Amino acid sequence: MAAPVNSADIQPRQVANKSNKKALLDAIRMTLDVQSAAVRLNTQTFNRNRYAATALIGDYNELKDRARQIKEAAIANLPELLRRLEASVQANGGHFYLAKTAAAANQYIRDVLVRHQVKRVVKGKSITSEEIKLNHAIEAAGIAVAETDLAEFILQVADEQPSHIIAPALHYSRERITKLFKRKFTTDLPLDTGEELTRFAREKLREQFIAADAGISGANLIAADSGSLMLVESEGNIRMTMTLPSLHIAIAGIEKVVPSRTDFGPFLELLPASGTGQPLTSYVSILHPPLQSPPFVAPGGTAKPREFHLVLIDNGRSRMREDPVLHEALYCIRCSACLNSCANFETVGGHAFGGETYSGGIGGSWEAGTGTLMNARFSELCTACSRCVPQCPVRIDIPWLNENLRQRMNLEQPPSVAKSAFGAMTGSAEQDRVAPLQKQFFGNYHSFGKWGTRFAALANASMHLPGARGLMESALGVDCRRTLPPFPKKTWEQLYHEERGVKPGTIEPGVVMLADVFTNYGAPERGMAAIRVLRAIGLDVALSPAMPDGRAAMSQGMMETAQRQARALAPVLKRYLDEGRKIVVLEPSVLAMLRFDFKHLLGDPGTQTLLAQNSFEPLEVLWGVAQELRLDLAQIFAARRCPHGTRLFYHSHCQQRTCNSATQTVEVLRAAGFDVVTSSVECCGMAGSFGYKREYYELSMAVGEDLFAQVRRAEEGSGPRTLVASGISCHEQLSAGLGREVFHPAELLASTL
């Protein structure tokens, strides 16, 4: 273990580059200590507001489809669009420059400023300018740069990198801003409210706006047909930057170009709603600079004609465009929905879950694309919980990008005899045997399950042998403070086949339960409970052979292994479909494999669609049948017969929510007569194997704290509730955090039979 670091001593800049793992771990410690409260408050507010704002867009899903189509076509046709854009900008009377590299962009901009003898530049928020480190380049030429977005202003004063892609200083609480300003400026003002701080900054920056002789802005979108820019903001500083000085330079990545101004439509509504959760931000400018109105002339200044330069930056984007995985990241419109809906991000923010410029789930692909692969190491904090996927306005499968980055990082690792022997023994595909032992351990959970259950007594006892857990921790990185599910004496498969005298079900079609490896080796009694519950309403239930589905391997970036497993499982399941059965999957992360992830792995769209459309969560099926046949669930599963009580706290699984298969569980439980309070967190923090890992234990528990607090609030004054959760890792997290037993909804229902 690294020597303990006092988190107060770590400065954000020191941990911006995460190409070594220590920086990542230090950053987690620092953010948990210093920034977490502000990050949580701000991201969770954005997240709540986004749900509300997008619900108000009547055709939200169609609009997302349209946005996706526009971006796909634009990126496919990018070279042509850039040519058209160049002509449009020139026709408007502006200058166009396409910079291959960051250095070329900086050089060009510096030259323009020097040519105009610029002394003072005002800048609007532009994350692309952070990427190329434009300020350094300008300041090196002796030109002063004033960041005028208040968040950027804070960062400039503090000398820190952004922690969020649209609210770059959201890791600062009001109190910390006051402290910072008091330290950096001489002022007698109290500065202890948001209003006072804003007024203070505004007055400082007003002077800059009046005196500035050039303005630099970014652009959210650019239309090739007309050279129009779309700029979204709330403070008014971007408008000032573009309107007041005579010289305006706009910089943007080449991926911001769309064919025409009409294409702005869907983004205009999706971007603010998905970001801050406003229907529109205060100002959305649609401009074709150079503006025709005269520039502002400072008192005593001389009038100059307007001049406009559009600087588009490649800096790795053309390479991303050719990349079979990373090209998806070019569709990103930087709305930040994927950051705000991510439980890990909500807890640490972009100084831990981010690199030098970009942060959050999508940030890894951007750091890898515009920098080097190892800059994307922080993308390990993506647990593939999938909550960001339905939030993304351009439908990027963000976890998939991160799993691929993980694979690439695995492949950069030197091979070793130990790793490859371990991999061969546990079932890693050839290529994945370079992955670290910890990754291969979690990626091959089914192999351990298989041996463990065969020698259950021995295996469980050995976990308790002095030193055994220490060995697990030092060799495999499994945190000592976690309990791995004990190996049962009999697997789900064995229990199922030992049953005698089961009457066939009466309703058609019957179902097959997928014996997922987590339930089969980790919680067979839960699987049996689900079978009993489905039978209780008359369904005929078969059980598939226990086979890995690829989830565990994929989450460790062992893509070959995952693909092999998925391709072995699909035909087995397909045979049940051919028999006329529906597929029922207990573990939501496995259901999500069939619904979504197989599309990346099977290479057989026909089978994939069939599997996706015909697999369900058990209570989803139950609720469907109950509705159709008008079953009286209060009769069949009378809650009052439940030995665990009728007052419940239910936490649905993150992937279950992404599958839209969570509300049905609540419906069923309520129909049976239970009193149900539900959680409203995005993820419990365990997220499959993530929370088991030694290095992420603290983060995982910090994420869980939101959920534990919700349970405590629900019980305040009115007494305890039985804890219920649908995911196997959520069980471990809840029982670790609250020290109580946790049930699966099917277990509760089965207990009433």
Using CB under 6 A, list all residues that contact ligand SF4. 274, 332-338, 362, 391-394, 396, 398
Q: Does 294 bind other proteins (CB under 8 A)?
A: yes
Write the single-letter amino acid at 523: A
Q: Does 478 bind other proteins (CB under 8 A)?
A: no
Q: Does 590 bind other proteins (CB under 8 A)?
A: no
- Alpha carbon distance 471, 463 (integer Å): 10
Name the phi and psi angles at 733, rounded to 5: -65, -50
- Alpha carbon distance 532, 499 (integer Å): 11
Rank residues 218 and 266 by Cβ distance to other proteins and give the closer one.
266
Among other proteins, ligand SF4, none, residue 288 binds (CB under 5-8 Å by kind): other proteins
Rank residues 40 and 334 by Cβ distance to ligand SF4 and give the closer one.
334
By rule CB under 8 A, what string of x and - marks binding of each residue 481-520 to other proteins? ----------------------------------------
Q: Does 298 bind other proteins (CB under 8 A)?
A: yes
Kindly indicate which of the ranges 139-147, 206-214, 717-725, 738-746 contains the residues binding other proteins, using the contact rule CB under 8 A: 206-214
Among other proteins, ligand SF4, none, residue 334 binds (CB under 5-8 Å by kind): ligand SF4
Among ligand SF4, other proteins, none, residue 278 binds (CB under 5-8 Å by kind): other proteins
* Candidate residues 280, 456, 536, 542; the one interacting with other proteins per rule CB under 8 A: 280
Whole-Å CA distances, 469 to 8, 542, 590: 32, 37, 28
Contacts of residue 605, defined as CB under 8 A and 6 or more positions apart, other chains included, come to 599
Among other proteins, ligand SF4, none, residue 460 binds (CB under 5-8 Å by kind): none
Handedness of CA 722, 723, 725, 731 (dihedral sign): negative
Q: Does 236 bind other proteins (CB under 8 A)?
A: yes
| Binding-site size, other proteins (CB under 8 A) | 62
* Candidate residues 23, 85, 197, 352; the one interacting with other proteins per rule CB under 8 A: 197
Least Cβ distance, residue 341 to other proteins (angstroms) = 18
In what order do the strands lie in the sheet containing 95-99? 95-99, 307-313, 247-253, 214-217, 120-123, 144-147
As a whole number of Å, the CA-based R_g of the chain is 28
Rank residues 273 and 570 by Cβ distance to ligand SF4 and give the closer one.
273
Least Cβ distance, residue 196 to other proteins (angstroms) = 9
556 burial via Cβ count (<10 Å: 0-12, 13-18, 19+): buried
- Alpha carbon distance 590, 640 (integer Å): 32
Q: Does 89 bind other proteins (CB under 8 A)?
A: no
Rank residues 201 and 401 by Cβ distance to other proteins and give the closer one.
201
Q: Does 299 bind other proteins (CB under 8 A)?
A: yes
- Alpha carbon distance 168, 334 (integer Å): 12
Rank residues 334 and 439 by Cβ distance to other proteins and give the closer one.
334
Least Cβ distance, residue 282 to other proteins (angstroms) = 5
Rank residues 126 and 729 by Cβ distance to ligand SF4 and give the closer one.
126
Write the single-letter amino acid at 486: P
3-class secondary structure per residue, 528-560: HHHHHHHHHCCEEEEECCCCCCCHHHHHCCCHH
* Candidate residues 96, 97, 108, 209; the one interacting with other proteins per rule CB under 8 A: 209
Q: Does 211 bind other proteins (CB under 8 A)?
A: no
Rank residues 227 and 369 by Cβ distance to other proteins and give the closer one.
227
Kindly indicate which of the ranges 138-146, 258-266, 362-370, 530-538 contains the residues binding other proteins, using the contact rule CB under 8 A: 258-266
Q: Does 725 bind other proteins (CB under 8 A)?
A: no
Q: Does 547 bind other proteins (CB under 8 A)?
A: no
Structure tokens at 516: 């997922």
* Candidate residues 7, 19, 77, 281; the one interacting with other proteins per rule CB under 8 A: 281
Kindly indicate which of the ranges 276-284, 536-544, 564-572, 694-702 contains the residues binding other proteins, using the contact rule CB under 8 A: 276-284
Among other proteins, ligand SF4, none, residue 472 binds (CB under 5-8 Å by kind): none
Residue with tokens 């796909």: 72
Rank residues 272 and 618 by Cβ distance to ligand SF4 and give the closer one.
272
The residue among 311, 300, 146, 136 whose CA lies nearest residue 214 is 146
Q: Are strands 283-287 and 229-233 parallel, antiparallel or unpaired?
A: antiparallel
Kindly indicate which of the ranges 281-289, 317-325, 367-375, 399-407 contains the residues binding other proteins, using the contact rule CB under 8 A: 281-289
The residue among 374, 389, 219, 212 whose CA lies nearest residue 287 is 219
**Cβ of 17: how many Cβ atoms within 10 Å?**
19
Write the single-letter amino acid at 377: R
Among other proteins, ligand SF4, none, residue 301 binds (CB under 5-8 Å by kind): other proteins
- Alpha carbon distance 83, 182 (integer Å): 50
* Candidate residues 104, 144, 268, 677; the one interacting with other proteins per rule CB under 8 A: 268
Rank residues 239 and 721 by Cβ distance to other proteins and give the closer one.
239
Region of 360 please: left (phi>0), alpha (psi -120 to 50) or beta.
left
The residue among 690, 699, 555, 737 whose CA lies nearest residue 26 is 699
* Candidate residues 156, 211, 225, 283; the one interacting with other proteins per rule CB under 8 A: 283
Q: Does 664 bind other proteins (CB under 8 A)?
A: no
Kindly indicate which of the ranges 283-291, 609-617, 678-686, 739-747 contains the residues binding other proteins, using the contact rule CB under 8 A: 283-291
Q: Which of residues 6-65 bind other proteins (CB under 8 A)?
A: 42, 56
Identify the bridge partners of residue 559 per DSSP, sorted by sequence position. none
- Alpha carbon distance 726, 586 (integer Å): 8
Rank residues 50 and 651 by Cβ distance to ligand SF4 and give the closer one.
50
Least Cβ distance, residue 361 to ligand SF4 (angstroms) = 6
436 burial via Cβ count (<10 Å: 0-12, 13-18, 19+): middle
Residue with tokens 């042998």: 465
Helix, strand, or coil here: 648?
A: strand
Among ligand SF4, other proteins, none, residue 144 binds (CB under 5-8 Å by kind): none
H-helix or E-strand containing 252?
strand 247-253
Helix spans in 323-466 (H): 337-340, 343-348, 363-370, 398-412, 417-426, 437-443, 445-454, 456-464
Rank residues 163 and 729 by Cβ distance to other proteins and give the closer one.
163
Least Cβ distance, residue 682 to ligand SF4 (angstroms) = 13
Least Cβ distance, residue 63 to other proteins (angstroms) = 9
Helix spans in 363-397 (H): 363-370
- Alpha carbon distance 439, 555 (integer Å): 9
The residue among 733, 726, 723, 611 whose CA lies nearest residue 662 is 726
Is the bond leading into 509 cis (omega within 30 degrees of zero)?
yes
By rule CB under 8 A, what string of x and - marks binding of each residue 142-181 to other proteins? ------xxxx--x------------x-xx-xxxx-x----
Identify the bridge partners of residue 524 per DSSP, sorted by sequence position. none
Name the phi and psi angles at 73, rounded to 5: -65, -40
Q: Does 291 bind other proteins (CB under 8 A)?
A: yes
Write the single-letter amino acid at 458: L
Binding site for other proteins (CB under 8 A): 42, 56, 148-151, 154, 167, 169-170, 172-175, 177, 193-195, 197-198, 201-202, 205-206, 209-210, 234-237, 239-240, 243-244, 261-262, 264-266, 268-269, 276, 278-288, 291-294, 296-299, 301
